[in-house]
Amino acid sequence: MGDVEQEPVTARIVNAIASLDATAWDACAGGYNPFVSHAFLKTLEESGAVRPETGWAPHHLALEDAQGRLLGVAPLYLKSHSQGEYVFDYGWADAFERAGGEYYPKLLMAVPFTPVPGPRLLAPPGPDQGSVRDTLLAAAVQIARKYEISSLHVNFCSEDEWRRGGELGMLQRTGEQFHWLNRGYDTFDDFLADLASRKRKAIRKERRQALGDDLELCVLRGAEIGEAHWDAFFHFYMDTGSRKWGRPYLNREFFSLLGQAMGERIALFLVRRNGHWIAGALNLIGSDCLYGRYWGCLEEHRFLHFETCYYRAIEFAIDNGLARVEAGAQGPHKLARGYVPVHTYSAHWIRDGGFRQAVEHYLEHERQEIDQEIEILGRHAPFRQTDGDA
């Protein structure tokens, strides 16, 4: 039997996601993760938050067959800094530049300003999915080599992509987040019943006090969200962003465009007192997960942050049959509120051999530390250990 001739494929760089068909992109993305959807990435670009002038030059990868049909895609950016990534490589950049190298520009395969795990090598489910993902990753490395770019970073990728990257010679990095997992609960009280008595009582007390100052929490979705709501939320976002990052990444237009493009995938939790909005949290709804993204407030009320961002998110997930809540980066304080530590993953290709070796040594130790921390924190999860702790 003769060899079967392989149909040629072409990988090309696309500088605006709007030039790629939305339906074809989302078919590659597979199971619904809102942050790798065509609509979300397009909103970032249309609003001007993501553009070369902000240090995020879109270089999306598109893998096509001979007929121009999209086989796979990857959100890819040429970066002139490391801001808005949440997988910190500032130390790497500083060390490389002190040694006489040029760390920037670099290539980043990720979702801008979004520390949310998910697929990065997007290929439709099927027998060819693995080979398409490998081709996308190899193409990204080839681009970095061809243009003598210092490095390629695949941030917050899936564990499977992380392993594939390692098999292809990329450096493997792990991190830590806290996620809430739905163990088949029908109500919030079912979740509380799973906790140790002391933790259960503490959460009930926090919830009572959180909305005790004539505060009302409203859950808004889709057409219920108007421009006045986005005006209010943008004030909260700017206040928090200015304190945390110095310069918030998103502009007011982004939120309006997001509401227009993905309104039914948004759960906006807004809190008001005496008819005025004073706090809020923005969540996006995936196929099996509620993703908490931004929180802000104009008034300080004890436990309001926990109620709005954590407890109400858990309640929403239970009511809507979602498997988990991912409440963003950082936060060991989430442990006492039912969120458990989990690994996050990133993969890195570094062109300079000596620098690569130094980073590889560092990552070996960092992975061990992350593993140990997750194991230790997991032992302190608030769930009942014995029947006597009911």
Cis peptide before 105 (omega within 30 of 0): yes
Predicted local distance difference test score (pLDDT) of residue 5: 46
Burial class (CB in 10 A: 0-12, 13-18, 19+), 26: middle
What burial letters (b/e) apply to 140-178, b meaning 16+ CB within 10 Å? bbebbeeeebbbbbbbbbbeebbebbeeeebbbbbbbbb
Predicted local distance difference test score (pLDDT) of residue 244: 59
Tell me which amino acid residue 378 is. G
Residues lower than pLDDT 70 in the chain: 1-7, 241-246, 386-390
DSSP state of 6: P
Q: Tokens for 198?
A: 């002391």
DSSP per-residue string spanning 44-104: HHHTTSSSGGGTEEE-EEEEEETT--EEEEE-EEEESS-TT-SS--HHHHHHHHHTT----
Report d(CA 110, CA 117) in Å as an integer.
9
Tell me which amino acid residue 255 is. F
Q: Kindly report the CA angle at 36 between 30 and 37, in degrees rounded to 5?
A: 75
Q: In the chain, pLDDT over 90 holds for what percent of residues?
A: 90
Predicted local distance difference test score (pLDDT) of residue 2: 39
Domains and CATH numbers, the chain: 9-176+342-377 (3.40.630.30), 183-322 (3.40.630.30)
**Which residues, other chains included, contact 150 with Cβ-Cβ below 8 Å and sequence gap of 6+?**
96, 101, 102, 103, 104, 105, 106, 144, 350, 351, 352
Predicted local distance difference test score (pLDDT) of residue 3: 44
Question: Which residues sit opposite 176 in a β-bridge?
Answer: 343
Predicted local distance difference test score (pLDDT) of residue 243: 62
Tell me which amino acid residue 347 is. A
